[in-house]
Structures are given as C-alpha cells and as structure tokens.
Amino acid sequence: MLSYTSIIYALFFFFLCIVFQIHRWRRCKYPILTDYPIFGMIIPLLWNLPRVHDFITQLLKKQHRNTCEFMGPWFTSMNYLVTSDPINLHHMLSKSFDNYVKGHEYHEIFEAFGDGIFNTDSETWKYNRSLFHSILKIRDFEMFQKKIIQNKLEKSLIPLLDHVQQQGSVVDLQDVFNRFTFDNICSVVLGCDPNCLSIDFPDVACEKAFNQIEEGIFYRHKVPKSVWKLQKWLQIGEEKNMTKACKTYDQFVYANIKSKREELSKCRKNNEMVDLLTTLMKEEKGSQVVMHDDKFLRDVAFNLFVAGRDTITSALTWLFYLIATHPLVEAKILEEIKENFGTINIEKKLGIDELKKLVYLHGAICEALRLFPPIPFERKQAIKGDILPSGHIVNPNTIILFFLYSMGRFEEIWGKDCLEFKPERWISERGGIVHTPSYKFISYNAGPRTCLGKDLSFIQIKMTTIAILSKYCVQVVDGHVPILSHSIVLLMKNGLKVRITKREI
C-alpha cells in the first residue's frame, strides 16, 4: 500500500514534469501534444487556448496527412480524430456521406439549433434541405433579399457611416456589420426590422442573446461533457448565461410567430414574395396545406440566423480588414468597379448579373473566406468503422474534427504563398473565376450538405462592399491587431476598430 509520502513525491514529480513541459512549449517553435496520465492532451490545449486556431494549424502541419488523434482526460468523451486533409474530407463529406453524421452528442451540444437543418441527420435533414431548396433557389427570393439589403444600405448603413465620418470618431466596423446583418436576416426571415443599426447603437436584447448562445456552444467544446452538463443542471456559469440567452431569443421569435399567424388569419392569400416565416406558414403541396408548428418555425429561424447573419458578418469583417491593409488590392477593386459601372452612387441599383462581372472582387471575397472561414471547424461522427484515405482507422462512433481555418494555411493545398492575401489566385488567364473543388475550399461545406445560400451570400457581400468602398476609405486604427474570437463563428474578439473618411472621386 502506498504511503502518504510516496503519493506526495509522485504528485511533486508529476508537477515538475508539467513545469518542464511548459518550459519546452515556451522555447519550442512548434506545439507539442503530450498524452499525460489522467489529463490526456488537455493541458497543452488549454495552455494554447488564446491562440487555439494557430496552435492546431501548427500541430497538424507536423502530422502525417495533416491528421492526428487527440486524447482527452480519462473518463471523458473528449477523444477525437483531428484532420484537415482535403482527401479525408472528400471521403467523409461526399463518398461516404451516409456514414458520417452529426450524431446525438452534436445535437446535445448544439441544442439551441433545435431540429433545424444544421443539427439533424437522415429524413429530418432531407426534409429541411428540400424545403429550403424550394424557397432559396427561386429568382423571386433572390430579388426579395436584394431589395431588403439595398434598402438597409440606403437608409441605415450609409447614413451611419456618414455620421461617423463627420464626427471623425473611431468605430467598430465588426459591430456595424453585426447590426447590419442582424437587421437584414430579421427582415428576410421574420419580416420585421429590429433597427439594431442606427446612430445611437442601441442595445437589442435578442441580438445580444444570440451572441451569448454561440459563445456558450463554443464553451461546450472546451470542457468535458460532464462539466457543462453539471453546470446546466445547477444553472451556474456559462450554462446559466446560455439558458437566459435562449429564453430571450425564444421570446422574441415566438412573439413574431404569433403575430404572423394572427396577421395571416386576417389577410387573403396573395402570390407576392414575403418573408420566410410567412412563406412557410402558407406552404402548400398540391391541394394540401402544410401546417408547421411553432417549434419547427422557431428552429428554422435560428438556423437561418446563423447561416445568414453570423457568416456574413465574419466574411465582411475579415474582407474589409484585408482590403484596408492591402492598398493595391483596394485599388484594383475600385478600378474594376469603375471599369464596369463608372461612378457608383448608392441609389444606383446593380442587377445580379451585373454583380457577376466583378471577378476581382469575387476573388478577394474567396481569399478572405479561405484565410478566415466563418465556421473555423466542423465535426462529424462515424456510424460504422472505416479507414480514411490517409490510412487512419476510424472506429464506430468516433468523433472527427476537421479544421477549415488550418486548411487555408497549408502549402500543399495552396502553395508557398498560402499565407498571402492574393485575389489573383482565383482568376484564370482568361479572366474568369478559377474553379476550386469544394473539399479544398470548404467555407461553404461540400457534398450533399453544400450551403444552399452560397450565391445569396456573395450578392450581399458584393453589394455591401461596393456601397462602402465607392464612398469611403476604411483605415484600421494604428496599433489595432485583430484577436481571433473563441466562438463557433470566426470573428474578431476585440472588434475591427477603424476610421472612416470620404473617398476622393
């Protein structure tokens, strides 16, 4: 039987080992993942949490085919296979799509998503996918969204930037985009505008709650399931904040659903394109009226908020940061706008076909998405055992994490200039857009789950970029260095602090 002295010596020796390992991490150029007894590999991960995206990228660069195992603490479910190998992703997302699902644990972690399209598998997912495809891919919806964005640009975004420019004040452009996209998605999905984007920058409870929910979901990835489950049961810490945020969001959405149902009961049917909530309430199949309950509509709204608000905010924020710090790219974008449209006024309505002419701008957007994908990592769970193309064995129920952020930084995928912001890499010799396989450029997912709103997102990003760049110069404040956020969406933790000045025409 071990004496107390032996136990103390053992703990002291273990402590010294950790201190020695930390000293090595500080001196070492590359990260080291040590599998400790009891703690597994969680210690180096937590130590590098402030720079977790770059830590994992450096780690995967050292592994065979950018793939490795991560072993969590004993008696937890934090054992993962981690990969950023494009061929592995192609295998999971396309060739063996049916074997790699979201799974029950994913559904628990992302419970705020409910039974929406991002959180489901099998028949439920297929139904959601078919439903959205029938709506999002019609020309009328495309024009409906474009009209809402144009209206928000003219009446809110440009007046706000004019005010900021006249005041000569510093503004957080990420916060501006957050409010802009939140108002847009509320108008598109719910048919209401909460007016988050105004000169006084009001606090809007639902918008803040939505941000809190996403932070809570990321927290559930950082700690063992038993920890966040206990916090949820006790209603303490992050889980208490998550519960309050979900309640605030649900009250907002359910109130809108109720008012929509009352409105529809009083109005006669018309064929005009309206918000998605109303469209789903009026959906018909043949002579049958399809009745969606309130919970279904709530889950649809939440999933579309993530797809149409956060990802666009992220894309716009990183795009404007990269353009502002690369003057030659900015000059080429402005030259392309001038060549195609002459002097642009915000009131001028650019058609969808006209927006497609902006090849260089399209390339700049793709570059921003490659370097800073809005969703920095994804997860899948294997149903049956399998062997990945990299040779790694996948046991049944294995959870696989794949890091989109890392993929944009691998030389073997993008070349030795992979860390450079070069829109030219997306433009062919003939001046067209270079096609890149979706499993390499995976910002819009790949295979059957490829994002249905890809084209709509490019329209919104291009319209917003043209409206701002043709009127203003955006300058990042001296000394401001973006810090990557800890969330399921890749934003700037410290915002994007800029000054706005009038552009010389």
As a whole number of angstroms, the distance between CA 189 and CA 275 comes to 5
Q: How many CB atoms lie within 10 A of CB 211?
A: 16
Long-range CB contacts (< 8 A, 24+ apart) of 318-321?
318/368, 318/371, 318/372, 318/490, 319/364, 319/365, 319/368, 319/461, 319/465, 320/173, 320/465, 320/468, 320/474, 320/496, 320/498, 321/476, 321/482, 321/492, 321/496
d(C-alpha 212, C-alpha 398), whole Å = 29
Separation of alpha carbons 262 and 276, rounded Å? 16
Closest CA to 329 of 359, 373, 366, 360: 360
Strand order in the sheet with 497-502: 170-172, 497-502, 472-476
245-250 contact pairs (CB < 8 A, 24+) = 245/208, 245/209, 245/210, 245/212, 245/213, 245/216, 246/112, 246/209, 246/213, 248/205, 248/206, 248/208, 248/209, 249/112, 249/206, 249/209, 249/210, 249/213, 249/302, 250/298
Task: Quote the CA–CA distance of 53 and 48 in Å, as a whole number.
Answer: 9
- Cβ of 126: how many Cβ atoms within 10 Å? 13
Which residue in the block uniquely carries the two structure tokens 């009745």?
291
- Cα 354 to its chain centre, rounded Å, is 27
Residue 451 assigned as binding residue: yes
Instruction: Name the one residue in this structure whose structure tokens are 């490019």.
Output: 458
Give the whole-angstrom CA distance, residue 18 versus residue 406. Answer: 27
Residue 68, SS3? strand
Is-contact 310 214, C-beta < 8 A? yes
Q: Are 414 and 425 in contact (CB under 8 A)?
A: yes
**3-state DSSP call for residue 441?**
coil
- Rounded Cα distance between 386 and 268, Å, is 55
CA-closest candidate to residue 76, choices 39, 32, 46, 37: 39
Closest by CA position to 131, among listed 14, 4, 12, 283 = 283
Identify whether the C-beta of residue 303 lies closer than 8 Å to the C-beta of residue 113.
Answer: yes
Residues in the annotated binding site: 451
Residues in the annotated binding site for heme: 451
